[in-house]
């Protein structure tokens, strides 16, 4: 009987505490005045907007990852093709340099760029957020954590040229004529690898002597099956290699006149004239 009586007292005590807690909570609800329907509606709208933006963010992150993968693949393909073309151009450059200088050595040297990442300025709100929560990564840290894909594998190309009888030097240490010949070798090596529909050369051979002009004209002649050359020149060696020659002359009246000669037709005419004279 005593045990039953004590159990009843405990039960009454618990029920009394529960009743007091209920009264306290009811009192707090009365003080707050309840939840307004507008608050619930605003919460639903905000949550819907948040869910939409979160979904958009996921889509953007997926698209960014896909684009970065494509960029990496393109960079690898570009670099591979670039190196193949560069090797071919370098070989032709060395070949044409030796032809123009009658010896010597020359090559193109790639200057590789150091890998680097860009930085951005923190916006005022980013700085405030970083100060408020030091454990959270800032916008700057998030930016730097993202790999930036760059297509710049190389910073430039250095020309190393050694004419016969000289020490290894850069193009800046060469004379005017040597620079002209080196430039011609480079231009012709690029044309041989990737021919253009036509190439205009404006008095490129102006600083060359007769022997070098002959070598220069021989190289142009070897490339005539790949591209058309329009050459402005006063050099006889270059003129002799041309298919068609245009000249401007001024008559006694001071008026400029344009003359043109097709060497193939001129040769045929000369042969006919020589034959006709032989018959006479």
Q: What is the mean pLDDT of residues 132-151?
A: 47
Residue 138's pLDDT band, with cuts at 50, 70 and 90, is low
pLDDT at 170 over 80: no
Identify whether the C-beta of residue 224 lies closer than 8 Å to the C-beta of residue 190.
no
Among 25-34, 84-93, 173-182, the least confident range? 25-34
Cα–Cα distance between 139 and 163 in angstroms, integer?
55
225-257 pLDDT, tens digit each: 888 998 998 888 888 888 888 888 887 888 888
Q: Which residue has the tokens 């004209």?
A: 217
Question: Considering the entire predicted model, what is its pTM?
Answer: 0.60
Residue 139's pLDDT band, with cuts at 50, 70 and 90, is very low
Residue 198's pLDDT band, with cuts at 50, 70 and 90, is confident
Residue bearing the bigger pLDDT, 98 or 9:
98
Could you give the C-alpha distances from 4 to 7, 13, 16, 99, in angstroms and in order? 5, 14, 18, 120
pLDDT at 9 over 70: no
Q: What is the mean pLDDT of residues 123-144?
A: 48
Cα–Cα distance between 231 and 91 in angstroms, integer?
25
Q: Which residue has the tokens 């594998």?
A: 153
pLDDT at 146 over 60: no
Residue 174's pLDDT band, with cuts at 50, 70 and 90, is confident
Domain ranges of the chain: 65-111+149-194, 196-242, 247-279
Q: What is residue 95's predicted lDDT score, i.e. its pLDDT? A: 92
E strands within the chain? Answer: 105-112, 154-162, 169-170, 198-202, 228-232, 244-250, 256-262
Residue 122's pLDDT band, with cuts at 50, 70 and 90, is very low
pLDDT at 3 over 90: no
Q: Domain 65-111+149-194, what architecture? A: 3-Layer(aba) Sandwich (3.40)
Residue bearing the bigger pLDDT, 142 or 76:
76
């Amino acid at each position: 009987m005593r045990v039953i009586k004590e159990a009843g007292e405990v039960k009454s005590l618990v029920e009394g505490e529960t009743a007091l807690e209920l009264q306290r909570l009811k009192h707090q609800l009365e003080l707050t005045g309840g939840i307004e329907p507008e608050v619930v509606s605003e919460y639903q709208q905000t949550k819907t907007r948040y869910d939409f933006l979160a979904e958009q963010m996921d889509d953007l992150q997926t698209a960014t990852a896909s684009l970065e993968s494509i960029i990496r693949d393109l960079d690898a393909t570009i670099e591979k093709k670039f190196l193949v073309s560069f090797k071919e151009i370098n070989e032709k450059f060395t070949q044409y340099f030796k032809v123009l200088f009658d010896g010597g050595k020359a090559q193109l040297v790639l200057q590789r760029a150091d890998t680097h990442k860009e930085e951005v300025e923190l916006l005022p709100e980013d700085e405030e957020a970083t100060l408020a929560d030091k454990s959270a990564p800032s916008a700057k840290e998030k930016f730097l954590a993202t790999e930036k894909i760059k297509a710049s594998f190389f910073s430039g190309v250095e020309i190393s040229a050694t004419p016969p009888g000289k020490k290894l030097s850069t193009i800046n240490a060469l004379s005017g004529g040597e620079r002209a010949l080196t430039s011609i070798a480079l231009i012709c090596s690029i044309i041989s690898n990737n021919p253009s529909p036509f190439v205009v050369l404006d008095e490129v051979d102006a600083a060359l002597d007769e022997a070098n002009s002959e070598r220069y004209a021989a190289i142009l002649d070897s490339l005539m099956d790949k591209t058309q050359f329009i050459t402005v020149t006063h050099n006889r060696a270059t003129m002799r290699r041309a298919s068609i020659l245009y000249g401007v002359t001024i008559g006694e009246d001071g008026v400029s006149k344009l003359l043109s000669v097709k060497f193939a037709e001129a040769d045929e005419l000369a042969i006919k004239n020589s034959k006709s004279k032989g018959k006479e």
